[in-house]
Amino acid sequence: MRILAFGGTGAMGVPLVNILANQGHDVYVTSRSRRDNRPNVTYLQGDAQSDFEFVKEILRDKYDAIVDFMVYSSEELKRRISFYLTHTEQYAFFSSSRVYAQSETPLTESSPRLLDVSQDQSYLATDEYALAKAREENILRESGYRNWTIIRPYITYNERRIQLGVYEKENWLYRALAGRTVVFPKDIADRYTSLTYGPDVAATVVKLLGNDNALGEAFHIVNAEKVTWRQVAELYQQVVFDRIHQTIRIDYPDSSTGLQRVWNPWQIKYDRLYDRVFDSGKVESVISDITFRPTRDGLTQCLIRFLDNPKWLDYRMNWKYEAWSDKQEHQFTNVFAIPSKRTKLSYIKNRLAIRR
């Protein structure tokens, strides 16, 4: 097949492109930076997210499938969608399992979405990620076409993304390895969640491409194994101690109310405070040979690989959160370790001003 990947250079795109190329497909990948082509992979330099003229140019030729990892506003996707759907046999749109509302039973693809059932008018007035993705799903469903497939991953991980609740490794692990206490509210820590190894998601998406049974359908591709965030935290503590003999200290305050002042409150309130347990029956009915790496094994391996070769992503640092955490724990971050004057000032300002 001839396949175009918008944004195929990220944590999910890289393994997907590798699998497709190894299978002999011709894969074209948009990238804002210049990259060298390799067997079966051609990089197209340009900004597919903000430059629609660039997109129109590369879509002069039709593709068997387009895999779209971009994050658009609802209005931007509405402007583009007819063009996408008429230039491919299958458009695979990455949505998110954050679209689901709270559920007392395992989530299926037909479970209520926040957009459809929320009564919080302040929330509905936003285009927060979960709402934006649901609105964009609606754009696909109302397009008049059926050659689309909606993909709803949930929390995915690899050695570059090792998450704890709302925190990326640049928040919780960076803080822990610096010897400071990780503040992890109980109302998040004791919720069930699902974590899925990124390459497992990519391998499943590949099997949906060119599959007629996937057209006009939504699928969440999520490890059905459930685990509490507290169990995840305890696993991280054990792995770090075993590998580098360092103790991670975690404080579990009762409520996330304080954290919501320095983090995206909607992500906490309308996702991390929910139990997220999934039923994978739908995708398994379309693809028979799906395997997901056991959570404990996958997280352990990824954390060990990172500890052996640590590389931090500065853009994921949240110095307002660091200031809040330090205030909770009566600790201080060495300002000389903060990378820029602007972030130093942000930390100092918030360390002095934030309420505990």
Residue-level pLDDT at 354: 55
Cα(first)–Cα(last) distance of the chain, in Å? 56
- The DSSP element (H or E) to which 52 belongs, if any, is helix 52-58
Strand-pairing partners, residue 309, are none
- The DSSP element (H or E) to which 304 belongs, if any, is helix 295-308
347 and 333 Cβ atoms separated by less than 8 Å: yes
Which pLDDT tens digits describe the chain residue by residue (356 residues)?
A: 999 999 877 778 899 999 999 999 999 999 988 899 999 999 999 999 889 999 999 998 889 999 999 888 889 999 999 999 999 999 999 999 999 999 999 999 999 999 999 999 999 999 999 999 999 999 999 999 999 999 999 999 999 999 999 999 999 999 999 999 999 999 999 999 999 999 999 999 999 999 999 999 999 999 999 999 999 999 999 999 999 999 999 999 999 999 999 999 999 999 999 999 999 999 999 998 899 999 999 999 999 999 999 999 988 889 999 999 999 999 999 988 888 888 898 899 888 875 55
Handedness of CA 293, 215, 1, 72 (dihedral sign): negative
Residue-level pLDDT at 352: 85
Residue-level pLDDT at 321: 93
Burial class (CB in 10 A: 0-12, 13-18, 19+), 225: middle
